[in-house]
């Protein structure tokens, strides 16, 4: 049985959303963050050597890492849905945004958060870190002026990867998207998807998705 171990308000919401979009049967186990430091509880950390979200189990398999889990689910359980076939006009764009989400976008945001928490300033922070973050947001805004979804004509796993940093991660940081009309319109479309609504209701009861 495919089981999603979801740490509340974390990247593992992506996995719930993907399973809802694919119409898969799965078991969902919710884990609350520790009240003292907002990190994963010990029973969640014990699931995988990295001790972080997301994690799934599927029979004897234990798998971490958002991109790996989404690819596994799409290929093993989802008949390669939500992935454009090789040769499709959207294939390369899907690949770029699928990997950009954690490889660049989330990485830069986390780097910025760390230096902010350390109250660091100087050329590296102001000229390098903040510049990379600004470029990433601008690139996402431009993409959504060119296409309805990050993955192209229709929703793909790239959109599910990009969804978390644009919503829940942004909510935890208080980042405004007032200056990004294409991203705002995109998130409104995402919020209208029944699968997204079901996923967030199951994964985050009592938490309003940050779609504006």
Question: Does residue 10 contact residue 169 with C-beta atoms inside 8 Å?
Answer: no
In a domain, 98, yes or no: yes
- Same domain for 141 and 174: yes
What is the residue-wise DSSP string for 2-49? Answer: EEEEEESSSTTHHHHHHHHHHT---EEEEEPPPTTTSS--HHHHTTST
CATH number of 144's domain: 1.20.1050.10
> For the segment 83-96, what is each residue's pLDDT rounded down to a tens digit?
999 999 999 999 99
pLDDT greater than 90 at residue 194:
yes
- Tell if the pTM clears 0.75, that is, is over it: yes
- Same domain for 38 and 20: yes
Dmax (CA) for the chain in angstroms is 51
Residue 20: pLDDT band with limits 50, 70, 90: very high
d(CA 52, CA 65): 9
- Same domain for 180 and 120: yes
Give the structural domain span for 44: 2-82+196-203
pLDDT greater than 80 at residue 172:
no
Residue 152 region, left (φ>0) first, then alpha (ψ -120 to 50), else beta?
left
CATH number of 75's domain: 3.40.30.10
Q: How many domains does the chain fold into?
A: 2
Q: According to the model, what pLDDT value does residue 38 have?
A: 86
- Same domain for 68 and 101: no
> For the segment 23-72, what is each residue's pLDDT rounded down to a tens digit?
999 999 999 999 998 889 999 999 999 999 999 999 999 999 999 999 99
Contacts 24+ apart (CB under 8 A), 83-89: 83/156, 83/157, 84/151, 84/152, 84/156, 88/152, 89/152, 89/153
Q: Span 139-168, mean pLDDT?
A: 97
């Amino acid at each position: 049985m495919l089981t999603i171990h979801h740490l509340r308000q974390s990247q593992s919401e992506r996995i719930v959303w993907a399973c809802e979009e694919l119409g898969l049967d799965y078991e969902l186990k919710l884990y609350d963050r520790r009240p003292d430091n907002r990190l994963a509880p010990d029973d969640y950390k014990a699931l995988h050597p990295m001790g972080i979200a997301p994690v799934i189990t599927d029979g004897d398999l234990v798998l971490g890492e958002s991109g790996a889990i989404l690819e596994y689910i799409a290929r093993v359980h989802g008949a390669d849905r939500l992935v454009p076939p090789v040769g499709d006009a959207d294939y390369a764009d899907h690949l770029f945004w699928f990997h950009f989400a954690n490889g660049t976008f989330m990485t830069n945001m986390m780097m910025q958060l760390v230096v902010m928490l350390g109250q660091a300033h100087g050329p590296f922070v102001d000229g390098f870190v903040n510049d990379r973050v600004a470029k990433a947001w601008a690139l996402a805004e431009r993409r959504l002026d060119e296409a309805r979804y990050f993955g192209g004509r229709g929703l793909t796993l790239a959109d599910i990867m990009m969804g978390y940093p644009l919503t829940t991660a942004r909510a935890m940081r208080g980042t405004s998207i007032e200056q990004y009309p294409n991203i705002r319109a995109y998130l409104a479309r995402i919020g209208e998807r029944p699968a997204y609504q079901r996923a967030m209701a199951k994964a985050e009861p009592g938490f309003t998705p940050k779609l504006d």
